[in-house]
Structure formats: C-alpha cells, structure tokens
Amino acid sequence: MTLPDDAAGPGRLPSKTLGSDCRWLTPDEDRALYGTGEALRLVLSDPDEFEAYRLAWSVVGDGVGPPPLAFWTLPSPLDSPSPVLWVPRVLLRRHAGRSTVTVSLRRGAAPVAETARLWMAEARALLAGRPQSDLPAIAALTSGCDVAGWTDRVRRTTEAIAAGRLAKAVLARRLSIRLTDTADPGVLADGLADLYPSCCSFSLPHGNGHVVAASPERLAVKRGAHVVSTALAGTARRHAGPEDDARAAADLLASPKERREHAIVADAIVEALAKVCDTVERPETPVIMRLRQVQHLWTPITGCLQPEVRFLDVVSRLHPTPAVLGWPRSAALDWLRAMEEVRDGLYTGVAGWIDRDGDGEAAMVLRSAYVEGRAAVLWAGAGIMAESDAARELAETDLKLSTLLNLFEAP
C-alpha cells in the first residue's frame, strides 16, 4: 500500500535524523529513499530471476502513488557476483516535493495483523528518527599496502601492459580505521551528502555492518525505455585558486594518458549498451565533473532500450566497467587475481534500487566506507596504463581516500 503523507511536507520532514536502515539520495532528481525492516530477501543466481517476482508483485490501494521498490547490491567482480535484493517493510520516499509511505509484506509469511503492528512501530521509529550523534574520531589508521608494495604492484602492472597482456588494470588501496566510538551509518551518509551534494549518496546494510558511499559514477539509470550510463575516468586535483583549478582541468582534458584511459571506459559502455539498445548516443568529447577535492573526465551515454530488456540485465552487461577493473575485462580480471588483489565492503561492486515497474538506479560503490561498530574500511583505486607513474597514482588514491577521511574527526 502507498499512503500519501500529506502532513510531512518538504519543510516538515527531518531528513537528517530519520531512523532508517537504508537510505538513498539522488540530488539531481530531488529523490530521497529511506527504508527499514525487510519484507522479502532474494539471492539471485541470474538477474532474470527477479522478473517472476516483479510480475507477482501486487499493490493494494488506489494505485495513484509511486510503485513499491527493492534495494539491491552486487559484489565486486573479484567476488562471486550474486545479486542480493530485498524489499523494505516500510519505505519513506520524498520526490518532487511529495512524501509517501509504502508498507510491504510477503503473502503468507505472517498474519496481516501481526505485520501491521510491525509497520506501525517501524514507521513511527523511522519518522521519529534518532538523536543526532557526532562524527566519531579516528583512533588508529592501518594501510593495507605501503609505498614500496604499491610501487612494485604498479611496476609489474605497467610491464604486463607493455608486454601486451592487457591495456589497463585498476589497482586499489585499503585503509583500515579504528574509531573512538561506534559509527552511525546514517550520520555518515548525511555527512557525505553534505560534502558532495552532486553525488548519489547511500547507506545500505551489508554483512554485519553498512556500506556508506557518495558515488560520482552512476552505472545505469532506467526510466521506461530510456537508459543513461556515465563514463568516469581520469582524475586531477582541485585547487583553491580559480586560475589554478581551470589550468588543472585543461591539463586533464589535454592529457593523452587520461583521455585514453577515459576512452577505454566510454567505448566499453557504448559497446555493452549497443547490444541491448536500438540507439546509443555519446558526446564526442568528455567534460569535467568537479567535486570537492578532485575533478574527473565525464561522459554521459544514453540509449533507447530494445523491448523486453530489463534493468538488471543492463546492469549485469555493464558491470564491471574498465573504470573499476581494467581492460580487456577477462585479462584484467586474471591479472588482478594473479596480483592477489582482494576487495571487501562491496568496494567496486554496485548498489541500487528497482521498482515494481522495472525502473531503477545503479551506482558504483566508490568513494565508499564499510562501517561496523567502531571499525571502518576505506578503499581507493587508480587506473594503471602503460605510462603510469607509481608516485602520481599513489597521490591520486590519497586524494580519493581524503574524501572519506573528511567524514571522521581527526585524532
């Protein structure tokens, strides 16, 4: 059932204190999703399996509200890529100035009266929220790779590229943090949304903790037959002075290495979408995406999907892009496994939502932290090409890690 929440207009709903298990903020569409509880959970061996559940998904009520939806995650390509999908028992949605509450249950799972009591309790808890807590401080930092180890990995990778084994590989660094207090994932997600208002921000449960991210890269957004994917590769530092900042952007656009790295990603997305779209459109040249501390080369790619092509199938064809793995896909995957690269906390996986109509949104799990109690794990990666310099790539990962370290109080 979808119930308009007329009393909770945009000026009255406290977005910063909502007591939700899941939250998803899409600023450019003025969309916010807050979910709590779990009506249904699925582990899909194939994305098409969801279609039977979607078709069986019924709505009780007048049908004038937005369709119910499910959150989902897909692991890193270095893990077993089984999508996990769940329908929140209570969902609060804010979109285009309107708020709605949707409650869900699995038929036959429990008596309706018993579920209704859960609905009321969880809805009250979600709307009442919880006291605002301060951001925890950092007690200790442990890097998973020192400078010498990173330099060796980059050297071996550039040699493999020069030998023709692959064209690009994305190497990642892991940073473990011990905190002085328990981290509230909702507070962290809101902090990221404040720091990076142009990014898609989310907090979703994973394992015994939560993944929190402000992702600049949306892998796919589907509305009807229209689909959009973004190529994001090539990075430069932001500068306080406008002239220095503009010069860095111009150098990024003019860099042969950065442009080739970006083209690999854009070409792969176009190739994947061409298999499921009647038309695909791509600008001739990338533009600059400016974030708080970094700027990237960015190309939006749009397509008109062929009839009967489903959103999760589009995601599975796109993931992983060369921006998070390398290229060619199989060669890059083999190389990273040979390098014994392991990624956890859903880093370089995908997270998103899908509604009963089959529309949805998918974002790469980048600029992310996995938090569990007083521990957090941060990741950052860099695309390695034949001419990559280990020190410059290390500095790039430091920049990306700093976007997350800003969330926590200094020791």
What's the number of domains the chain is made of? 2
Active site residue 361: no
Q: Could you give the angle at which helices 256-274 and 242-254 cross, rounded to 10 degrees? A: 60
Residue pair 302/281 in contact (Cβ under 8 Å)? The answer is yes
Choosing from 128, 158, 192, the residue where a domain stops is 128
Query: 195-241, pLDDT tens digit by residue?
Result: 888 888 999 999 899 999 988 889 999 999 999 999 998 888 888 89
Judgement on whether residues 177 and 324 belong to the same structural domain of the protein? yes
Query: 356-381, pLDDT tens digit by residue?
Result: 999 999 999 988 999 999 999 999 99
Query: 238-296, pLDDT tens digit by residue?
Result: 888 999 999 999 999 999 999 999 999 999 999 999 999 999 999 999 999 888 788 89
- Say which residue the tokens 């030998």 belong to: 163
Judgement on whether residues 119 and 168 belong to the same structural domain of the protein? no
Judgement on whether residues 374 and 253 belong to the same structural domain of the protein? yes
Under DSSP, the state recorded for 276 is T
Predicted pLDDT at 346 = 92
Cis peptide leading into residue 10 (ω within 30°): no
Predicted pLDDT at 302 = 97
Indicate whether 189 belongs to any domain: no
Question: Residue range 5-25: average pLDDT?
Answer: 56
Cα–chain center distance at 4: 28
On the question of pLDDT at 162 being above 70, the answer is yes
Query: 309-343, pLDDT tens digit by residue?
Result: 999 999 999 999 999 999 999 999 999 999 999 89
For 98, list phi and psi in degrees, rounded to 5.
-125, 145
Q: Which of 49, 159, 217, 340 is catalytic?
A: 217
Active site residue 168: yes
Judgement on whether residues 23 and 158 belong to the same structural domain of the protein? no
Residue pair 118/89 in contact (Cβ under 8 Å)? The answer is yes
Amino acid, res. 93: R
On the question of pLDDT at 12 being above 70, the answer is no
Q: How far apart are CA 345 and CA 371, in angstroms?
A: 8
Q: Which residue, among 33, 371, 352, has the nearest Cα to 188 in the 3D structure?
A: 371
Indicate whether this model's pTM tops 0.95: no
Q: How far apart are CA 69 and CA 360, in angstroms?
A: 9
Choosing from 105, 128, 151, the residue where a domain stops is 128
Q: Which of 122, 168, 258, 400 is catalytic?
A: 168
In which band, very low, low, confident or very high, does the pLDDT at 18 lie, cut at 50, 70 and 90? Answer: low
Q: What is the CATH number of the domain that holds 226?
A: 3.60.120.10
Q: Domain span at residue 42? A: 2-128
Indicate whether 49 belongs to any domain: yes
